[in-house]
Amino acid sequence: MPPEKVSKALVRINSMLDQATTSQQNIRKLLGSLRHVVTCIPSAKPFLQQLSGTRPIDYNIYMDASDFGLCALFPARREYLQVAFNPQERLTISEFRLMGKGDYNINLRELMSAVFASIAWGSCWSGDANDGHRRVRFWIDNTSAIAWNNHCSSRNLEAQRLLRSPALLEVKHLFFVTASHIVGEANTMADAGSRTQVELPTNSRNLSQVWERFCEQVRWWTHLESTTNVTGNNGQPGVSG
């Protein structure tokens, strides 16, 4: 095992031990380092399994996207959702395919499936204070969309905007989402659904409007200006000694 990998794992372990609280991202980084250790020390595998697999997956959601629309399946409730791309979106997709213009690549469209699924079924995945968060697994056949979802980050500007809504819904409804890969040939039902054109209700169709509605329900800190007023304009100035 490379020395730098050993050092990185030790740093992450010691950092976790020194913290009273941590973030999902730090936990994922630590588990990633420990998985690398397990490949070199097989005897450590039971410990990692116990650490990372304490709770089973509560709900599995299967999804896919195409040039025509997207689809998500919720087998536990025998439900599905379908979204047809409107003419402007299809034009944007065509421009990206022909000229590489814009952000509407297949990675973004696959991520949109995850966002719509969270909006449609987030309240169904609600956990509680006693039983803890519900575990939800998104099955996606696009590795970039999986990475964006699991790391809650992307260099794609449109993806950055889309990732806000699922993150807020996770906090609101007490569920935790991870994404895993499914081979495209095995994802036939979601793939077929993504090619069927069915309209979603208007109030959930525009993802930017969904985020705006979230913002209206929460009191956000106002933006602070880069400069402040001259001393003395807001009350008395400081007293000199």
Residues of the chain short of pLDDT 70, as ranges, are 49-55, 129-131, 185-241
Shared-domain flag, residues 100 and 161: yes
Kindly state whether residue 172 falls inside one of the protein's structural domains.
yes
The span from the CA of 159 to the CA of 148, in Å, is 8
Contacts of 93 by beta carbon, 8 Å cutoff, 6+ apart: 67, 85, 104, 109
Kindly state whether residue 99 falls inside one of the protein's structural domains.
yes
Q: How many separate domains does the chain show?
A: 2
Shared-domain flag, residues 181 and 67: yes
Report the pLDDT value the prediction gives residue 138, as an integer from 0 to 100: 95
Kindly state whether residue 207 falls inside one of the protein's structural domains.
no
Shared-domain flag, residues 16 and 103: no
Kindly state whether residue 16 falls inside one of the protein's structural domains.
yes
* Closest of 63, 153, 157 to residue 105, by C-alpha: 157
Report the pLDDT value the prediction gives residue 185, as an integer from 0 to 100: 67
Q: What's the chain's average pLDDT?
A: 77
Report the pLDDT value the prediction gives residue 223, as an integer from 0 to 100: 42
Contacts of 56 by beta carbon, 8 Å cutoff, 6+ apart: 135
Report the pLDDT value the prediction gives residue 216, as an integer from 0 to 100: 61
Q: 35 lies in which domain range?
A: 3-40
Shared-domain flag, residues 74 and 191: yes
Report the pLDDT value the prediction gives residue 241, as an integer from 0 to 100: 41
Shared-domain flag, residues 71 and 183: yes
Shared-domain flag, residues 91 and 194: yes
Shared-domain flag, residues 32 and 105: no
Shared-domain flag, residues 36 and 116: no
Kindly state whether residue 225 falls inside one of the protein's structural domains.
no
Report the pLDDT value the prediction gives residue 58, as an integer from 0 to 100: 92
Report the pLDDT value the prediction gives residue 12, as an integer from 0 to 100: 87
Shared-domain flag, residues 77 and 165: yes
The span from the CA of 24 to the CA of 37, in Å, is 20
Shared-domain flag, residues 17 and 101: no
Q: Which long-range contacts (CB under 8 A, 24 or more apart) does 1-7 make?
A: 1/36, 1/37, 1/40, 5/33, 5/36, 5/37, 6/37
- Output the domain CATH number for residue 188: 3.30.420.10
Report the pLDDT value the prediction gives residue 233, as an integer from 0 to 100: 45
Shared-domain flag, residues 191 and 78: yes
Kindly state whether residue 196 falls inside one of the protein's structural domains.
yes
